[in-house]
């Protein structure tokens, strides 16, 4: 794969949850190294898009396709997507009592390394990585030994997501409302962690409801999702316009670039 080649190609993606169509023809291309932000009002399908890409059961793709590094992403199980380099930072990270963060993450990393044809890491090498990456998001090392997300504050949970991302080093990171529930200090830390992970080989899809996050994670492109379609695309300056005007003006106009008409 050459630089600036296509990382993700979403073509006319339709998806339903419990029989309700949420995505109604999404088209989006992300190239290697690019950061794309997806904004939109509540219920527009932002989180659905993130989950469909990660392969969450219960999200049914009814039309369209998604190519990841040129391969059919939708045909892969969630674990295979992760092994191929897809990472979803959850809006609501799940608490898993009884499973320690490091145990879980070591298994995850070794599964991914195995898929890449690399050797599995032993406990010593792994703990070195943990130390280094925990520093990146200012995550208390004690938290890495505790059960996954159990008893973590909202900010700690979000930092733990970015910490995991740093350890797993994905090619495509999807950040689902990583800013929600964070105060400005936590937001700065999380954003700094994300920015440190930006690289020409890594693409990011940053899903957010508020423009605020984009002051810290500056995207290359910004798309507005309205009613399951991308209603508008532009550069980072579009965020400011949205901040000023809100989303309602977009909801009233017909989607300009809608290809897969939904009728």
Nearer to another protein, 5 or 77 (CB): 77
Nearer to another protein, 82 or 258 (CB): 82
Minimum distance from residue 231 beta carbon to another protein (Å): 28
Two structure tokens written together for 209:
């409801």
Q: Are strands 35-39 and 221-226 parallel, antiparallel or unpaired?
A: parallel
Minimum distance from residue 78 beta carbon to another protein (Å): 4
Instruction: Please report, as ranges, the residues that interact with another protein according to CB under 8 A.
Output: 54-57, 77-79, 81-83, 87-88, 90, 93-100, 102-105, 107-109, 111-112, 115, 145-148, 164, 168
Nearer to another protein, 147 or 260 (CB): 147
Two structure tokens written together for 208:
């957010």
Using the structure block, give the residue that is written with the tokens 């006319």.
Answer: 12
Q: Which residues contact 249 (CB under 8 A, 6 or more apart)?
A: none
Supply angle C-alpha 166, 168, 169, rounded to 5. Answer: 65
Minimum distance from residue 226 beta carbon to another protein (Å): 27
Residues in the chain: 263
Minimum distance from residue 176 beta carbon to another protein (Å): 11
Q: Which residues of 75-110 are buried (b: 16+ CB within 10 A; e: fewer)?
A: ebeeeebbbbbbbbbbbebeeeeeeebbeebbebbb
Minimum distance from residue 51 beta carbon to another protein (Å): 9
Nearer to another protein, 168 or 194 (CB): 168
- According to DSSP, the residues that pair with 23 across neighbouring strands are 15
Nearer to another protein, 90 or 221 (CB): 90
Minimum distance from residue 97 beta carbon to another protein (Å): 6
Q: In angstroms, rounded to a whole number, what is the distance separating the alpha carbons of residues 66 and 53?
A: 8
Minimum distance from residue 143 beta carbon to another protein (Å): 11
Q: In angstroms, rounded to a whole number, what is the distance separating the alpha carbons of residues 82 and 77?
A: 9
Nearer to another protein, 78 or 154 (CB): 78
Nearer to another protein, 55 or 64 (CB): 55
- Percent composition of the chain: helix, strand, coil (DSSP 3-state, to 5): 35, 30, 35
Q: In angstroms, rounded to a whole number, what is the distance separating the alpha carbons of residues 212 and 22?
A: 25
- Closest by CA to 50, choosing from 173, 132, 202, is 173
């Amino acid at each position: 794969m050459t630089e600036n080649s296509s990382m993700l190609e979403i073509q006319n993606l339709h998806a339903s949850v419990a029989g309700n169509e949420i995505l109604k023809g999404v088209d989006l291309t992300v190239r290697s190294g690019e950061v794309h932000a997806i904004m939109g009002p509540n219920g527009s399908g932002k989180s659905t898009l993130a989950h469909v890409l990660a392969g969450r059961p219960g999200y049914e793709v009814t039309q369209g396709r998604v190519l990841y590094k040129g391969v059919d992403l939708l045909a892969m199980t969630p674990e295979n997507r992760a092994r191929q380099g897809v990472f979803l930072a959850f809006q609501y990270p799940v608490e898993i009592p009884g499973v320690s963060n490091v145990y879980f993450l070591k298994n995850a990393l070794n599964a991914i390394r195995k898929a890449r044809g690399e050797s599995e890491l032993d406990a010593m090498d792994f703990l070195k990585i943990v130390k280094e990456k925990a520093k990146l998001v200012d995550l208390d090392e004690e938290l890495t030994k505790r059960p996954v997300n159990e008893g973590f504050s909202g900010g700690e949970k979000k930092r733990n997501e970015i910490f995991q991302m740093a350890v797993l080093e994905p090619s495509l990171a999807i950040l689902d409302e990583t800013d929600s529930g964070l105060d400005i200090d936590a937001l700065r830390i999380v954003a700094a962690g994300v920015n440190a992970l930006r690289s020409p080989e890594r693409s990011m899809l940053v899903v957010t409801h508020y423009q605020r996050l984009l002051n810290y994670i500056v995207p290359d492109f910004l798309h507005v999702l309205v009613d399951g379609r991308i209603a508008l695309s532009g550069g980072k300056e579009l965020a400011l316009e949205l901040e000023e005007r809100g989303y309602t003006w977009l909801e009233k106009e017909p989607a300009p670039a809608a290809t897969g008409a939904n009728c």
